Amino acid sequence: MSVQNTLKGFRVTFRHLLKRPETIGYPEKKTPVFPRFRGRHRLWSFDNGLEKCVGCSLCVAACPADCIRVVAEENTPDNRVSAGERYARIYEINMSRCIFCGYCEIACPFDAITLEHEYELSEYDRGALVYTKDMLLAEHPKKVPLREDGSAASG
């Protein structure tokens, strides 16, 4: 039985040994990610411009890394920011502390925050890793392709 398992292991090794290595020309060509990949956070707005986030702080309570800060403020008739009674005046995520667990996305009852597929999050300064509300509302300029079939990336 042991010899059979050894031969099976050698067969797998030799099969991969004869394949050509894949080279991806990063950063011009990005590695496709799986659809369930959790990357950069994004806050969303409605089509009419009102923010989906109502400042309920459920994402703050769900975050195990304690990296989200929300300061809520009341909406007024002349300053309407969100569809609810309140809005997030300050919404910050410290990306250097985030563990990308997705609990904030699950906890949000309004689908105001999602984890997108962008994975280029490195910075030279620690202060730049604190994402403000304006940064989170903006679309990431560099889109990442998705793997459709779950196979390895093609070069």
Q: Where are the domains of the chain?
A: 29-137
pLDDT of residue 73: 96
pTM greater than the 0.75 cutoff: yes
Whether residue 35 is predicted with pLDDT greater than 80 in this model: the reply is: yes
- Closest to 143 measured CA to CA, from 115, 113, 114, 117: 117
What is the third-level CATH fold of 29-137? Answer: Alpha-Beta Plaits (3.30.70)
pLDDT of residue 150: 56
Residue burial 131-142, b: 16+ Cβ < 10 Å; e: rest: bebebbeeeeee
pLDDT of residue 103: 97
User: pLDDT by residue (tens digit) across 72-110?
Assistant: 999 998 999 998 899 999 999 999 999 999 999 999 999
User: Which tokens is 109 given?
Assistant: 């009852």
Residue that has been written with the tokens 């998705």 in this structure = 146
- Contact indicator for 75, 87 with CB cutoff of 8 Å: yes
Query: Which H or E run contains 72?
Result: strand 68-74
Q: What is the number of other CB atoms lying within 10 angstroms of the CB of residue 110?
A: 16
